[in-house]
Amino acid sequence: MGLPGLVLLLLAAGLLRAQPTAPARSFQLDYEHDCFLRDGVPFRYVSGSIHYARVPRPAWRDRLLKMYMSGLNALQVYVPWNYHEPLPGLYNFAGDRDVEAFLDLTAELGLLVILRPGPYICAEWEMGGLPAWLLWQSDIVLRSSDPAFLAAVDSWLHVLLPKIKPRLYQNGGNIISVQVENEYGSYYACDYNYLRHLLGSFRALLGSEVLLFTTDGAQAEELRCGTLQGLYATVDFGPGSNLTEAFGAQRGVEPRGPLVNSEYYTGWLDYWGGTHASTSATQVARGLADMLRLGANVNMYMFHGGTNFAYWSGADLKAQYKPVTTSYDYDAPLSEAGDPTEKLFAIRTVISQFQPLPAGPMPPATPKYAYGQVDLRKYADLLDVLDVLSPSGPIRSQFPLTFEAIKQEYQGTLERDGQSTLPVTGRAGDALDVLLENMGRLSFGANFSDFKGLLGNLSLDSSPLSNWLIYPLAIDAAVQQGWPHAALPQPSSRGRSGPAFYTGTFETPGIAWDTFVKFPGWSKVRSRRADEGVERGRAQPRLPLAGPAVDKRLQPGPLLAPPRAPADPLCAWLSPACRLPQQHHGAGAGGSSSQPLPALPRPAPSQQHPQPQHLDRRINAGLPGAVTFLVCVSCTPWCVGEGREDMAALEK
């Protein structure tokens, strides 16, 4: 090779060596400067919680965009195990359950993600996210190193975490950290071997670089059992807490590193029978500002609460059983309907003092529409359709069985009054029909295995009743097969009163706006919707109204309500009424301008009855045609049993 050629070759080699390589993506702890490092640069997140399982998929983009426009640079989200594995080995990641699509959308909108995959999540969710089928093994010890529990957990994590790994920040995604378990320090077991097992599983499936963390209450006794070396410990607390004491508790287990409040409470949940929770916007904003001045990282729980659709609301045990309402509005900055509130603009103002806000206005609240009164007529008595709702017939048992023993899973959240006996009258040889309901398994509190149904025998004068016929009611399966339209009820000859299905129809002009369902004088409602004249698969209902709520998302099928409902007239109102201000907010803190909402003619004031707040229900009836929904006057039946002995005083 001649000299010129050699020179050119050397120059080319030099250019190749001089080309800069792309820096490795990383999200790490900086113990020296008490902060996070994102790609080697100090970073602080201001985040908000949203749960994809509580928001219909068509609304994901709207809610996430509003969070981004509020100034958040990250969001926090749970993955409920039972939402994706309803039966052992049967997985569902489609539609509203498509967690990968949700995560991809967050990345598209420029939001980082703090992921909380459990396996236990609390979240006021049915059984804290643990599948109820775990209780088929009656002696299982949940959230412990019980081999039966660990085997189920490992099987689930081997399905979920491979979906997560490509989306980790160091792998080019937007997930900056992953929580292991949740508030384990509040659980009685205090099983460090369990936490060590989880840590090993997460490391094996996600790699050594991912930032793993724990969250516990800001008390030394909670942090003692909830933390483990190799998991960065964070705390949670609400406005009004003493910041020095709260973060001091974190410093007790993490002397150096970033200050993190993983759950800064913007509001609170609602329990059955209580008033709607409310937290001052001023107090929430002030507490946020104080933490940001300290340089802390903050996640606001919740930023948008949403709705416990279907049968997913859980329960707490705080001196007494406290079932959670269908609504998960949480008095959050984004209302249950996804509307910006004054609290959101107060928070947005605080954030603007610490980091730039995105350019552009806040997306407005959604418009609402009134459809007027819906009259309800009786469709069938519950006991006349047992052949449809329990097609395999009854299970014969000498004594009552729990829901888990007959693999009857959780189907609804209603109330219970706690009484343990019930005087009944009858003659010797009469049959006793018992209607059982499941009001939600514990998501927080004692956290023992929360079996449902009759946990002991029913007795008459201390003598147990025997020879039971037990009908597990598969209402969802019946609906999927076309009921109630596909199977007409057999008329009853018993002249009974009690549980009965009712139906009503209203016309929609094809306007895709939200509406609210009210049941004047009713105390509980189970609601479903069946559309006539439209393609059923296209009729997607929206969210229920904010506030303590009872009925589930309207979808094809039956509705259930209690015997205290008025006998005549039976009706419901569909209107845009809402406890929250219905305003379209402009850009800037607190900016708003009211806009009139189009509505059909409303009933005269004399025709409108005062309703309990928890009976306002929100749906979307935007497709043309007749929309039919059904109700049942009774407590929700998820299992019917007939005791073939004398009438009994009921013992639970």
Angstrom distance (rounded) from CA 592 to CA 66: 15
pLDDT for the residue numbered 572: 60
The CATH number assigned to the domain holding 202 equals 3.20.20.80
Angstrom distance (rounded) from CA 35 to CA 48: 19
Domain match, 47 and 165 both: yes
Domain match, 491 and 436 both: no
Angstrom distance (rounded) from CA 75 to CA 340: 17
- CB 403, CB 619: distance < 8 Å: no
Domain assignment present for 249: yes
Angstrom distance (rounded) from CA 71 to CA 345: 10
pLDDT for the residue numbered 415: 41
Domain match, 58 and 129 both: yes
How far apart are the two ends of the chain, measured CA to CA in Å?
96
Instruction: Given the residues 263, 336, 404, 415, select the one marked as catalytic.
Output: 263
Residue 220 tokens read as 């030394």
Domain match, 253 and 292 both: yes
Domain match, 464 and 506 both: no
Angstrom distance (rounded) from CA 340 to CA 595: 14
pLDDT for the residue numbered 264: 98
Counting Cα atoms < 13 Å in the Cβ hemisphere of 419 gives: 6
pLDDT for the residue numbered 521: 67
Query: Is-catalytic flag, 221?
Result: no
Query: Is-catalytic flag, 183?
Result: yes
Domain assignment present for 291: yes
Q: Which residues contact 481 (CB under 8 A, 6 or more apart)?
A: none
Domain assignment present for 294: yes
Angstrom distance (rounded) from CA 89 to CA 572: 41
Mark out the alpha helices in 137-294 (DSSP H runs).
147-164, 192-206, 220-226, 243-253, 281-293
Q: Which residues contact 492 (CB under 8 A, 6 or more apart)?
A: 381, 383, 384
Domain match, 543 and 452 both: no
Query: Phi/psi at 183 (nearest 5 deg)?
Result: 50, 45
Domain assignment present for 595: no
Domain match, 530 and 566 both: yes
Intervals of the chain under pLDDT 50: 6-13, 15-16, 408, 410-417, 493, 530-569, 577-624, 632-652
pLDDT for the residue numbered 229: 96
Angstrom distance (rounded) from CA 254 to CA 35: 12
Mark out the alpha helices in 428-576 (DSSP H runs).
475-480
Instruction: Given the residues 124, 126, 181, 183, select the one marked as catalytic.
Output: 183
Mark out the alpha helices in 449-562 (DSSP H runs).
475-480
Angstrom distance (rounded) from CA 476 to CA 405: 19
Angstrom distance (rounded) from CA 581 to CA 589: 16
Domain match, 34 and 142 both: yes
Query: Phi/psi at 23 (nearest 5 deg)?
Result: -65, 145
Domain assignment present for 176: yes
* Three-state secondary-structure class, residue 166: helix
Q: How many domains does the chain have?
A: 3
Preceding peptide of 119 cis, ω within 30°: yes
C-beta atoms surrounding 482 within 10 Å = 12
Distances (CA, A) of 519 to 336, 342, 553, 615: 19, 29, 15, 6
Domain of 443, in residue numbers:
393-416+431-471
Domain assignment present for 650: no
Residues paired with residue 627 on neighbouring β-strands, in sequence order: 506, 531
Domain match, 144 and 222 both: yes
Domain match, 304 and 412 both: no
- Edge-to-edge strands, sheet with 528-532: 377-381, 500-508, 625-632, 528-532
| pTM summary value | 0.77
Residues in the chain: 652
Domain assignment present for 346: yes
Domain match, 195 and 61 both: yes
Helix or strand holding residue 76 (H, E): strand 74-78
pLDDT for the residue numbered 361: 92
Domain match, 444 and 497 both: no
| Angle (deg, nearest 10), helices 192-206 and 147-164 | 30
Q: How many helices (H) and strands (E) does the chain have?
A: 12, 28
Residues paired with residue 625 on neighbouring β-strands, in sequence order: 508
Residue 497 tokens read as 């009163």
Distances (CA, A) of 441 to 118, 134, 138, 420, 581: 17, 12, 15, 19, 33
Domain assignment present for 332: yes
Report the relative pairing of strands 571-575 and 372-375 from DSSP bridges.
antiparallel
Angstrom distance (rounded) from CA 337 to CA 317: 28
